[in-house]
Amino acid sequence: MQAILALEDGRIFLGTGYGAPGECQGEVVFNTSLTGYQEIATDPSYAGQIVVLTNPQIGNYGTNQADNESAKPYIEGLIVRELSLTSSNWRSEQVTDEYMERYSVPVLSDIDTRALVRHLRTHGVMRGVMSTDVSNPEALVQKARSIPKMDGMDLARVVSTQSIYTFDENDPRNEAGDSLLSLGISQDAPQFHVVAYDFGIKMNILRMLVREGCRVTVVPAETSGEDVQAMKPDGVFLSNGPGDPEPVDYAVRAIRKFLGRVPVFGICLGHQLTGLALGGKTYKLKFGHHGGNHPVRNNITGKVEITAHNHNFAVDPDSINANEVELTHVDLNDNTLEGLRHKSLPLFSVQYHPEAAPGPHDSNYLFRDFRKMMEEWKG
């Protein structure tokens, strides 16, 4: 079947539709990862977005439950150069076309994704509509222009868990169904109790925390700082998530409540909320960072880490009090602030994704740093 992408500026891309028939809409972004399309699709940070993958062939190794980063895909739609209708991998349980149809995700294939990505890089991310009804492109352009902008939109409360739960290998939210032992995660009694805010948390973050000897209690995005302190955690984790950080003011208030009272580690949206809690400001990037190959310099060690990114907003480094906060990481592509650490309080955060999934493992050490911080705090 034919399918179409209509952008708000009038640009049209006509191709072939797969996955779920029908229509979807959202902010169109591109991801430069070479692998990991299923993990990308199930990352809640992509809520409200249509994702363009730059790797030319997608779907060739199929899909399986173990690679889900959440219970379902959160992308609105998927755009690829070529969708493989067969899978060639022993782990595959379902071909990608059927997987996307199962979860009602439309796929647009057979378009010039290179031209689309260059267009988005030049003009910035923009709203778009994908549809299998190609009869009236101009109507789709007008519809794209009417889509609410993500600026000022709180999506964290939309994707967050609605109830408190403890993550372990048997938890029904662990859709992968893998035992933690099979993933190389220690089964020893946990040394630390970590409360993890779910603003759109990825499964591999939870696994990484468990790997560092943590019992993880996951709480909804709107949980108050007082309620978290009542759980007597050894550390608090602030997760990744979608949307604009500034409307998530309830989380900023919560962070300020336990700041200095317990070690804190933030990733992605959690980093942005940390910056706001410290009195900083955030801003929206032209086309965001989405991919598994971004070079980030660690200002403390001088080393360069190749990292996984998925964010549209960033913390303004000039808004951070340099007397209190050290700027620890910077993106070498555009000098975006990628990490900070408080000079006197047990607090650090990074904009990128040290848990990857998909992506490199250069930054796994940050989970060990969090464990060491909790050890020192308890000691």
The set of catalytic residues is: 268, 353, 355
Q: Which residue shows structure tokens 């782990």?
A: 91
Q: How far is CA 52 from CA 75, 83, 104, 172, 182, in A?
A: 10, 12, 17, 30, 33
DSSP, residue by residue, 345-368? SSEEEESSBTT-SSS--TTTHHHH
| Chain centre to alpha carbon of residue 248 | 16
Specify whether the CB–CB gap between 177 and 68 falls below 8 A. Answer: no
Output the 3-class SS for 6-45: EECCCCEEEEEEEECCCEEEEEEEEECCCCCHHHHHCCHH
Specify whether the CB–CB gap between 17 and 150 falls below 8 A. Answer: no
CA proximity to 100, closest of 75, 129, 131, 133? 75
Residue 4's DSSP bridge partners are 14, 131
* Phi-psi sector, 335: left (phi>0), alpha (psi -120 to 50), beta: left
**Lookup: tokens for 123:** 């003009």
